[in-house]
Amino acid sequence: MDFKLSALTKSIWVFHVSAGSCNNCDIEILDLLTPRHDVERFGIQLVGSVRHADALLITGAMNKKAVVRMKKIYEQAPKPCVVVAVGQCALSRHLFRYSYNVEEPLDKILPVDLYIPGCPPKPEAMIDGIVKLVNKLKSKK
């Protein structure tokens, strides 16, 4: 296993980007950190800068103004970096696919590694998703 990849599976630091979501996914992500779910016990931590991030948690249907900045954010992330699409908007643009200002779903813009569906996904679903991702990375030789 690649050294960098094996380091990634130990304790994932996530950077959360709200790319035009309705905040529900965002507050559920924050909810992960608070006493009931407390993902910090697994080493998962929110970081303040994308340059420290192992994973990008992206929520929301990206509008035209956000797409440009989203690409820049991804370029700034240290690689290998996993991209997680959280919520229905990031997966398929949800009902905003009818909007004049939302042109492409996330996976046409960035390589997405993990999809977590739901509007919003429950915190349990997010933890489950991250665990699956870590297991998948570990099985990669």
Partner 1 sequence: MSHKVIVPIGPYHPLQEEPEFFQLYVEGEKVVDIDIIIGYNHRGIEKICESKHYDQIAFVVERICGICSSSHPYAYVLAVEDILGGEGAVVPERALYIRTIIDELQRIHSHLLWLGLAGHFIGYNTVWMWAWKYREPILDMFEMITGNRNNYAMFKVGGVRRDIKEEDLPLLNKTLDELLPALEMFRGAVMDDPVIQARLKGAGILTKEQAIEWCVIGPTARASGVNIDVRRDEPYGALLLGTIDWNVVLQKEGDVYAKTLVRIFEMQDSVNIIRQCLKKLPNGPIDADVKDIPPGEGIGRVEAPRGECIHYIKSDGTNRPVRHKIRAPSFMNVASNKVAAVGGTIADATITLAAVDPCYCCTERVAVINRSTDKKIMNGWDLIKLSQEKTNKIKEMLL
Minimum gap (Å) between residue 14 Cβ and partner 1: 8
Minimum gap (Å) between residue 123 Cβ and partner 1: 9
Note whether 44 and 139 are within 8 A (CB): no
Minimum gap (Å) between residue 58 Cβ and partner 1: 10
Question: Token pair of 4, please?
Answer: 């960098």
Q: Residue 80: is the preceding peptide bond cis (ω within 30°)?
A: yes
Site mask, partner 1, residues 80-119, x = CB under 8 A? --------------xxx-xxxxx----------------x
Helices assigned H by DSSP within the chain:
3-10, 24-33, 64-76, 88-92, 123-139
Q: Which of 34, 71, 136, 140 binds partner 1 (CB under 8 A)?
A: 34
Give the whole-angstrom CA distance, residue 85 versus residue 62: 12
Interacting positions 119-138 with partner 1 (CB under 8 A): 119-120, 122
Q: Which of 5, 9, 13, 63 binds partner 1 (CB under 8 A)?
A: 63
Give the whole-angstrom CA distance, residue 134 versus residue 21: 26
Candidates 5-13, 46-54, 105-113, 128-136 — which segment interacts with partner 1 by CB under 8 A?
Answer: 46-54
Question: Token pair of 56, please?
Answer: 């990008």
How open is the CA angle 34-38-44, to the nearest 5 degrees?
A: 115
**Sites of contact with partner 1 (CB under 8 A):** 15-28, 30-31, 34-36, 46-49, 60-61, 63, 65-66, 69, 73, 94-96, 98-102, 119-120, 122
